[in-house]
């Protein structure tokens, strides 16, 4: 398995897609029930293959990621060749930017001495999707990039 198995909830949400996936392998609903009972290893493999296909499709479309922690925000822009990072770090321990109040403080105090903004660019490896998945596994969320673009303007000014 290249990525990670989808959760039970994700499988439930993708019920129809999974049925279609099984159908492409000529597996009917009855046959699937039989496989689950008699050959659980085969069922697990099918679920893993389906999970990887879904992840591959999702990761291929990713352009932006965000990762929040109590005192840092990591904003990633994914291009064909690079991963661009804008990191915002709040040096004030009393501020937790994962809370509404803390995030509001950050918005109003971007130029405060306790707020540091860094940028970095890293070359994409040969396996773009695996690079992105590693960030997702560490807690990054796929986004549309509004926050990245906002801070991109901040660092350019």
Domain boundaries, the chain: 8-61, 64-156
Report whether pLDDT(80) > 80: yes
Indicate the average pLDDT of the chain.
93
pTM of the model: 0.85
The CA radius of gyration of the chain, in Å to the nearest whole number, is 21
For the record, the structure tokens of 98 come out as: 């994962």
Report whether pLDDT(15) > 80: yes
User: What is the C-alpha to C-alpha distance for residues 127 and 60, in angstroms, rounded to an integer?
Assistant: 11
157 pLDDT tier (thresholds 50, 70, 90): low
For the record, the structure tokens of 77 come out as: 């822009």
């Amino acid at each position: 398995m290249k990525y990670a198995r989808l959760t039970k909830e994700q499988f439930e949400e993708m019920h129809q897609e999974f049925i279609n996936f099984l159908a492409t392998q000529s597996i009917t609903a009855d046959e699937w029930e039989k496989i689950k009972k008699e050959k659980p290893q085969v069922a697990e493999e099918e679920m893993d293959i389906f999970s990887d296909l879904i992840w591959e499709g999702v990761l291929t479309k990713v352009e932006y990621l965000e990762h929040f922690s109590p005192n840092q925000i990591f904003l990633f822009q994914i291009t064909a060749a690079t991963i661009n990072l804008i990191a915002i770090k709040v040096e004030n321990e009393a501020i937790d930017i994962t809370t509404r109040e803390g995030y509001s403080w950050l918005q109003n105090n971007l130029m405060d001495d306790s707020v540091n903004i860094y940028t970095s660019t890293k070359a994409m490896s040969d396996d773009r999707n695996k690079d992105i998945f590693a960030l997702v596994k560490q807690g990054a969320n796929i986004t549309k990039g509004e926050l990245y673009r906002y801070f991109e303007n901040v660092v350019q000014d």
